[in-house]
Amino acid sequence: MSKRPKFVAGNWKMYTSRGVAKELAAAVAQGAPAGVQVAVFPPSVWLTTVADALAGSAVGLGAQNCHFEKEGAFTGELSPQMLLEAGCRYTLVGHSERRHGLGEIHDFLNKKAKAALAAGLHVIFCVGELLAEREANQTEAVLEKQLTDGLAGIPAEHLPNLVIAYEPVWAIGTGKVATPEQAQAAHAFIRRKFAALFGEKSASVLLILYGGSVKPENAADLLHQPDVDGALVGGASMKADSFLGIVRAAV
């Protein structure tokens, strides 16, 4: 078993009202056990509400997206500096719902990751293959391209604040979960590729989260794989009981 800490993150996507976000955050803050890093990623409009609900707890706050510029004429966008001021420690970059649903591509994601890290945010950079790519045996080629292009030029001093989430697109929100063996194989590949890009030392401490239909019932098997350092949870993070069940499975 690795000495890397476990990290469980909840992506609330475009769900929750303000009241629900507040209650959910308070319940997570109260119920999260020690010994696991936990963070929640509410819709941006609720960030400050959730920051207040998490105040004094060890649960971190993250944004689901950020722009790469500090400020400017970018209607609808939020800068890393704004997210920090709203209380965020983390941001997601490259979630598949933005890659495939909104057409965000490698170079754009690379700029976001670099800008967020340079501003002092921790970045969870998401990668993962489509079902057709897995069936055509292209999983490793897809991951390699996403990592090589998406992480290009990140300076060594920012690597400690970078986390990778392996999220096979066919498993996100579908109820189809990767087997622990499939997850382990992809995570081990990502760690090897990261070592080739940034060196063995950085790769050995890199946290790699699995995402894709994680639930309390399947979490322990996934989280006990040697290269699975935690989970990025969508659907099951929107109920305190199921999210905390996953967090407990990581202890």
Nearest distance from residue 116's CB to ligand PEP, in Å?
A: 17
Contact indicator for 97, 138 with CB cutoff of 8 Å? no
* Residue whose CB is less far from ligand PEP, 81 or 216: 216
Binding span for ligand PEP by CB under 6 A among 19-27, 28-36, 181-189, 210-218: 210-218
Given 21, 124, 233, 244, the residue binding ligand PEP (CB under 6 A): 233
Known catalytic residue at 167: yes
The tally of CA atoms less than 13 A away on the side-chain side of residue 206 is: 31
Given 63, 232, 240, 246, the residue binding ligand PEP (CB under 6 A): 232
According to the binding rule CB under 6 A, does residue 212 interact with ligand PEP?
yes
* Residue whose CB is less far from ligand PEP, 192 or 215: 215
Binding span for ligand PEP by CB under 6 A among 66-74, 112-120, 219-227, 232-240: 232-240
Q: How does DSSP assign 13-30, residue by residue?
A: TT---HHHHHHHHHHHHH
Nearest distance from residue 175's CB to ligand PEP, in Å?
A: 8
**β-strand partners of 165:** 126, 209
Instruction: Record the tokens describing residue 243, joined without a space.
Output: 């999210």
**C-alpha pair distances (Å), 212 with each of 60, 111, 173:** 21, 25, 7
Read off the DSSP letter of residue 4.
Answer: S
Give Cβ neighbours of residue 42 (< 8 Å, ≥ 6 apart): 12, 16, 21, 25, 49, 50, 61
Given 6, 8, 11, 208, the residue binding ligand PEP (CB under 6 A): 11
The tally of CA atoms less than 13 A away on the side-chain side of residue 176 is: 9
According to the binding rule CB under 6 A, does residue 42 interact with ligand PEP?
no
Known catalytic residue at 133: no
Binding span for ligand PEP by CB under 6 A among 42-50, 73-81, 191-199, 228-236: 228-236
Residues engaged in binding ligand PEP (CB under 6 A):
11, 13, 167, 172-173, 211-214, 232-236
